[in-house]
């Protein structure tokens, strides 16, 4: 339940209330929705500048599919990435689905 099970974190992000929701190990995560401001067709992304999701991506199991949802206008030709370990596997836009896997 959106109103009852989410709380605002110290980073001003809505997240599950740990007192009400079951905690699972990152090894059990099969799919992660990763936000971003811009993406390229190789799975590169520009985040929001806090490195929160970059840190999460490195902790997820290799079998976990990292998926982003974006408008087609957020897809750019190339994003300079210092490391490809922060990329996503699938980008779903309003016009197409881009598979990096």
| Inter-residue contact 87 to 42 (CB < 8 Å) | yes
* pLDDT tens digits, one per residue of 65-98: 999 999 999 999 999 877 667 899 999 999 999 9
* pLDDT tens digits, one per residue of 7-39: 998 888 888 888 888 889 999 999 999 999 999
Class (C level, CATH) for 23-99: alpha beta
Where b means 16+ CB within 10 Å and e means fewer, 33-64 reads ebebeebbeebbbebeeeeebeebbeebeeeb
The four Cα atoms 14, 15, 19, 21 give a dihedral, to 10 degrees, of 130
| Inter-residue contact 98 to 91 (CB < 8 Å) | yes
């Amino acid at each position: 339940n959106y109103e009852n099970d989410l709380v605002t974190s110290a980073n001003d992000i809505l997240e599950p209330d740990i007192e009400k929701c079951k905690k699972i190990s990152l090894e059990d995560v099969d799919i992660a929705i990763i936000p971003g401001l811009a993406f390229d067709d190789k799975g590169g992304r520009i985040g929001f500048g806090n490195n929160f999701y970059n840190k999460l991506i490195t902790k997820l199991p290799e079998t976990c599919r990292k998926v982003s949802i974006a408008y087609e206008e957020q897809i750019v030709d190339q994003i300079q990435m210092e490391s490809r370990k922060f990329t996503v596997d699938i980008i779903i836009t309003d016009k197409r689905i881009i598979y990096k896997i």
